[in-house]
Amino acid sequence: MADSEKKEPTEAEKTNRKAWRNLLVTSVGSAAFLAAAMSNIIKTHKQHGWPKNAFKNTDYVLMTVPFLVLALSLHEEVKNGDVSE
């Protein structure tokens, strides 16, 4: 078997790992929220059926806000994102 001694990570590797782990924490939280929301949507659909005439115009506006924020943040990141070298 080859020599499998682990090298001590460099400072750059430690910084990179910390940055990616910070991203992981928020991603896991967002995924948990999405899973809970989808579970509640399915449960409500089973109990009450599809929402016929349940929403008003203001409700639809509120439902579009997360998608607008997502689209705008992706646009800004692609357009003005930092490039590390």
What pLDDT digit, counting tens, does each position of 71-80 carry? 999 999 898 8
Asked whether the beta carbons of 9 and 17 are under 8 A apart, the reply is yes
- Rounded to whole angstroms, how far apart are CA atoms 45 and 77? 36
- Prediction pTM value: 0.58
- How far is Cα of residue 57 from the mean position of the Cα atoms in its chain? 27
Amino acid at 69: V
What pLDDT digit, counting tens, does each position of 25-80 carry? 889 999 999 999 999 999 999 999 998 889 999 999 999 999 999 999 999 989 88
Asked whether the beta carbons of 47 and 40 are under 8 A apart, the reply is no
Q: What is the pLDDT of residue 84?
A: 58
User: Domain-by-domain residue ranges, the chain?
Assistant: 11-79
What pLDDT digit, counting tens, does each position of 1-24 carry? 455 678 898 999 999 999 999 999
- Residue 81 — very low, low, confident or very high, per pLDDT cuts 50/70/90? confident
DSSP-based three-state secondary structure for 5: coil
